[in-house]
Structure 1
Amino acid sequence: MWIIKLGGSFCSDPRLPDWLSLVTQLGGGRIALVCGGGLLADEVRRLQTRWALDDLPAHNMAILAMVQNAYMLHGLSPALQPVSREADVPLVLRRGGVALWMPLELLRHQPDADTNWDVTSDSIALGLAQRLNAERLVVLKACDIDADMSVRQLVEAEVLDRRFAALAQQGGLPIDVLGGYQLDDLRALLLGRAPRLAGRHDRPVS
């Protein structure tokens, strides 16, 4: 099983259909897709600042932003199979499908260590990968990614969220961070080939 985190910025990117097509063509039976909140999550941040909201309602609003974007992905690519419980992800994969995770289970009634902006969809996808004992996590970002940067450096550059590096230390699964121009590199990974560009981070933290 692989977890692929699709950055929410792709939801307004013309390259989105190409990425979805690749995932559905080559990911059957092994990929669970997680979508970020994108512009909807940015609006949550704006509203939180505007109304001085606590982190708990902002967290729940951001989770629902991820869910809304997942519904959009399903509308664009009906082959994706939505699941609202992470326990159902393996069931979809065993049937040969591509799971589209809607993280409704992460809505909270009380604040905890994860209900803040240190944890975004990047760390949420990593946590899912660790809980499901995934073989690999691939994080797709619409921006360009410097292939020479480590995961820790990407956190420092605010490409990945602030909790990501610490969370990655808790599990040794390979992590790849690819930019929006690296469609062929994801294709190579899915086909078991070495990617054309050196955008891989097999050691999660360095």
Structure 2
Amino acid sequence: MWVVKIGGSLSHDPALREWLMRLWEVGGGRVVIVPGGGDFADAVRRYQREWRFDDLAAHNMCLLAMAQYAILMQGIVPDLVLASNEDRIRRALRDGRVAVWVPTDLMRTTPDSMTNWDTTSDSLAAWLSTTLNAERLLLVKSCDVEAHAPLDMLAASGVVDRRFPAYVRDANYLVEVFSKGDASRMRDRLLAFQA
């Protein structure tokens, strides 16, 4: 199973449709898409600055932001299956479908290590990859990403969140970061690793 996190920065980019279509074409039964937060999460940041509520509320709102992006993705490719937990994700994969994670089950009532702005959808994708015992985690970014760039460097430059390198340091899955123009390369790789 591959987890593919598509950054919210692609939410207005034609590359989003290409990524979703290619994943749908070749990823049935093997791919779980994790949506970023995009404009929806940016709105949470603005509201938090204005109203000065705590990071727990912001975390829960950002999970809903990711859910909105997931619904947008399914609106673009209706055959994608929205799935809010491990059971639903595994059911979608067993049915030969591509799942899009709706992370509302991670809403919290008390703060924890995830309820802060250092932990974004990148780290949540790593958490899901560990939970699902994924083979690979691919992050898709709107910016150009140098092949094999160290994750600590990508975190320092803001390409991935600050906590992401620690989340994946001891991971049992391969981590790759792709640029938005790499959809064909990802498709070829997914085809090459078909069971």
1:176 aligned to 2:176? yes
Q: Give the letter for the 1:146 counterpart.
A: E
Q: CA deviation at 1:148?
A: 4.5
Q: CA deviation at 1:150?
A: 1.2
Partner of 1:203: none
Instruction: Write out per-residue CA displacement over residues 25-53 of structure 1, whole angstroms, 9 at most, x where no aligned residue.
Output: 00001001110010111111111112111
SS at match of 2:181: coil
Unaligned 5+ runs, structure 2: none
Q: Give the letter for the 1:78 counterpart.
A: P
SS at match of 1:128: helix
- The runs of at least 4 consecutive aligned structure 1 residues that moved more than 2 Å come to none
Partner of 1:18: 18
Instruction: Write out per-residue CA displacement over residues 96-123 of structure 1, whole angstroms, 9 at most, x where no aligned residue.
Output: 0101110011111111111001100000
Unaligned 5+ runs, structure 1: 194-206
The root-mean-square deviation of aligned C-alpha atoms, in Å, is 1.1
Q: Give the letter for the 2:76 counterpart.
A: L
1:2 aligned to 2:5? no
Q: CA deviation at 1:146?
A: 1.7
The structure showing larger relative contact order (alpha-carbon pairs under 8 Å, at least 6 residues apart) is 2
Q: Give the letter for the 1:87 counterpart.
A: D
Is the CA contact 2:135–2:172 (under 8 Å) kept in the aligned structure 1?
no
Partner of 1:37: 37
Task: Give the TM-score normalised by the residue count of structure 1.
Answer: 0.90
SS at match of 2:180: coil
Instruction: Pick the structure with more helix per residue.
Output: 2
Mapping of 1:77-92 within 5 angstroms? Answer: 77-92=77-92
Mapping of 1:104-123 within 5 angstroms? Answer: 104-123=104-123
Is the CA contact 1:3–1:129 (under 8 Å) kept in the aligned structure 2?
yes
Looking at structure 1, the residues matched to 143 and 173 of structure 2 have their Cα atoms a distance apart, in angstroms, of 23
Looking at structure 1, the residues matched to 150 and 47 of structure 2 have their Cα atoms a distance apart, in angstroms, of 33
SS at match of 1:69: helix
Aligned residues: 193
Q: CA deviation at 1:87?
A: 2.4
Is the CA contact 1:60–1:107 (under 8 Å) kept in the aligned structure 2?
yes
Looking at structure 2, the residues matched to 58 and 47 of structure 1 have their Cα atoms a distance apart, in angstroms, of 9
Q: Give the letter for the 1:23 counterpart.
A: L
